[in-house]
């Protein structure tokens, strides 16, 4: 004999005596036995009519049992019934009405109690890592026993979670840029699982084969405005939300700070591009340093030492070809530079990706009394002339206009002479 586990609902004279209660019973018994067990009575003869319906697990539709209480419960087992409903009629209507009023909760009370339950937006199927971020944020709210009542989790709650997720997803690949400006994520967001694991959510930005658009001030402001719409609603003033809302305001603030930096950087570039003078020059963006001779120096400086040893005093050389290829090794090279000759190191900083130009010349002594300042000044002036100058957009525009005007003047002036000859 197999056991049958099923939900049972009983109505008597339109009053609910039993509402979806789980009952276990043998499948070889009858609906008559199921009703007796549900009502905890020995007989159901007092009911004049008994109508029986059931639901299967795959449908909400009610199916009638033709043979009524005389039907075997084997039918429930075979048809995968999950819920059985008895609708009974009795002459003792007042008795059941009193029982219903005293023991059963009204539908309105039940509805109000349901609306007062704190709920969160439904988690998503994790089809991508953005869904993972959304679910992790919902889980973080759940651990703090937060949520919305009156089914607001389906509207304003979901909007809030979506806006937070969209903003974090957008800035996630660029968080290192934020750190370079000393702008950090709020502490509560650092507790998200991927950030605690020193990882990130939007890995597709780096690994995907698509055009990678850089972070935009307009997009940052767009996401901030969307999140601020949620932060202006009444529910944010509830005390249980205080910590989360404070961190959300911090998130908006950090994003606005970086957006402001992007705006200032763009404004500086406009000024540079519209300038008639190069940004860097050979007077302000150089360093000149003298080094004393030493007999003990690392072997990787031997090419430089040999170059200086076989040169004349104040004969300058560009040593970029002698430097290590990697930027880190090049930095260490200049930190420990040494040779068996006194020399001057002249460095001009192009800035950005253009790098640095490096020149040296041998000195008779590190003591300024034995140095020829005229020759040193001559070297600096010569190098200043040889340093390439990269024009701004405005400078190129000026040159193009000048060439165009000269060409047009020459063209028309020559044509006018030709016309005279004709």
- The pTM of the full predicted model, rounded to 2 decimals, is 0.52
Residue from 225, 125, 124, 143 nearest 188 by CA: 143
Count of CB atoms within 10 A of residue 189's CB?
18
Q: Token pair of 137, please?
A: 């944020």
Residue from 180, 178, 190 nearest 257 by CA: 178
The predicted structure's pLDDT at residue 362:
93
Domains of the chain: 3-104 (3.10.20), 129-271 (no CATH), 286-386 (no CATH)
Distance CA 163, CA 230 (A): 8
- In the block, which residue shows the tokens 């034995």? 370
Sign of the Cα pseudo-torsion (59, 65, 68, 70, in order):
negative
Count of CB atoms within 10 A of residue 163's CB?
20
The predicted structure's pLDDT at residue 275:
77
DSSP E strand stretches across 251-364: 286-291, 317-318, 343-349, 356-362
Could you report the average pLDDT of every consecutive run of 10 residues in the chain (422 residues)?
84 83 86 88 86 84 87 87 88 49 56 76 90 94 91 92 95 92 90 91 82 89 95 93 95 94 89 74 79 92 94 93 90 93 90 79 84 87 78 68 70 55 43
Distance CA 265, CA 251 (A): 21
Distance CA 175, CA 205 (A): 12
The angle formed by the CA atoms of residues 331, 334 and 336, to the nearest 5 degrees, is 110
Distant-in-sequence, close-in-space partners of 313: CB < 8 Å, separation ≥ 6: 361, 362, 363, 364, 372, 375
Q: Please, where are the H alpha helices in 274-372?
A: 302-309, 327-335
How remote is the C-alpha of 25 from its chain's centroid? 54
**Contact (CB, 8 A) for 192 and 136:** yes
Dihedral angle at the C-alpha atoms of 156, 158, 162, 168, nearest 10 degrees? 90
């Amino acid at each position: 004999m197999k056991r049958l586990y099923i939900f049972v609902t009983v109505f008597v004279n339109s009053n609910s005596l039993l509402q979806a209660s789980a009952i276990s019973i043998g499948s070889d018994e009858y609906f008559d036995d199921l009703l007796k067990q549900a009502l905890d009575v020995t007989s159901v003869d007092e009911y004049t009519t008994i109508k029986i319906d059931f639901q299967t697990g795959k449908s909400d539709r009610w199916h009638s049992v033709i043979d009524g209480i005389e039907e075997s419960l084997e039918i429930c087992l075979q048809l995968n019934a999950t819920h059985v409903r008895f609708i009974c009629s009795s002459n003792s209507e007042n008795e059941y009405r009193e029982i219903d009023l005293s023991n059963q909760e009204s539908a309105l009370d039940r509805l109000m109690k349901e609306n007062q339950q704190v709920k969160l937006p439904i988690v998503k199927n994790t089809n991508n890592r953005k869904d993972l971020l959304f679910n992790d944020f919902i889980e973080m709210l759940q651990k703090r026993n937060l949520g919305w009542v009156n089914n607001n989790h389906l509207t304003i709650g979901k909007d809030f979670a979506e806006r937070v997720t969209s903003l974090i997803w957008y800035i996630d690949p660029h968080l290192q840029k934020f750190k370079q400006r000393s702008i950090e994520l709020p502490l509560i967001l650092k507790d998200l699982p991927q950030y605690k694991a020193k990882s990130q959510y939007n890995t597709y930005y780096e690994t995907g084969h698509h055009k990678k658009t850089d972070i935009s001030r307009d997009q940052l402001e767009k996401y901030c405005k969307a999140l601020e719409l949620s932060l202006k609603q009444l529910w944010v003033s509830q005390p249980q939300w205080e910590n989360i809302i404070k961190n959300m305001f911090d998130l908006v603030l950090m994003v606005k700070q970086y957006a402001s930096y992007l705006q200032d950087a763009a404004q500086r570039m406009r000024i540079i591009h519209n300038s008639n003078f190069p940004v860097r020059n050979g007077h302000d963006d150089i360093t000149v340093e003298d080094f004393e001779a030493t007999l003990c120096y690392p072997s990787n400086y031997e090419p430089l030492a040999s170059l200086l040893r076989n040169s004349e005093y104040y004969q300058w050389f560009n040593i970029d070809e002698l430097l290590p290829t990697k930027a880190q090794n090049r930095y260490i090279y200049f930190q420990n530079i040494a040779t068996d000759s006194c020399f001057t190191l002249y460095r001009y900083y192009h800035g950005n990706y253009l790098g640095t130009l490096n020149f040296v010349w041998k000195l008779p002594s590190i003591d300024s009394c034995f140095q020829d300042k005229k020759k040193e000044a001559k070297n600096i002036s010569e190098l200043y002339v040889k340093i390439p100058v990269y024009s701004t957009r405005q400078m190129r525009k000026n040159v193009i206009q000048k060439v165009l005007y000269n060409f047009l003047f020459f063209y028309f002036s020559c044509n006018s002479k030709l016309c005279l000859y004709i």
